[in-house]
Amino acid sequence: NTPATLPDLMNALLPALESHATVPSDFTRHQPLDILLAEDNIVNQKLALKILEKFGHRVEIVSNGKLAVEAFKSKRYDLILMDVQMPIMGGFEATQNIREWEKEHGGRIPIIALTAHAMIGDRDKCLSFGMDEYVTKPLRMNDLIATINKFPVRNPIEDLTMPDERNAHQV
């Protein structure tokens, strides 16, 4: 047996995302979200991107928690999908850094943990580190979209009428 190549893995995973895949009608949002995806595995990046773009979401991908914290501080996102285990800085530490920044500057962005761990207590561990929800890998379209849809859509009128507090406090 030889190891699977990236094209082999993509060809195995993508049929579940084809246009004929059944999508519950309540999965469709009227407003696309700006999502930050923090994931170091390229196959998981491509799978998540394909799912999210299928639903009209705009996605920015970073490959570690340090880059996720930097991206969060520099741009406004509606939601973060955060892998738990990444190089340089993992998802737990990145989430704690984001939550500390929010304490000082205000706001709270929904953070959904992405993890291969599906043991009893893993969800509670993610929540205890400040994450808001939990999705197991390998990602399944219906699970991911249903979890994202638990969070309210940001009101675009607020963006126009209220100053962006995040930029006001940056030096």
CA dist 99 and 87 (Å) reads 20
CA dist 77 and 86 (Å) reads 20
pLDDT at 171: 44
The pTM of the full predicted model, rounded to 2 decimals, is 0.78
User: What CATH architecture does domain 55-118+129-139 belong to?
Assistant: 3-Layer(aba) Sandwich (3.40)
CA dist 130 and 110 (Å) reads 9
Query: CB 135: neighbour CB atoms within 10 A?
Result: 20
Which regions in the chain score pLDDT beneath 50?
Answer: 19-20, 157, 159-163, 166, 168-171
pLDDT at 27: 52
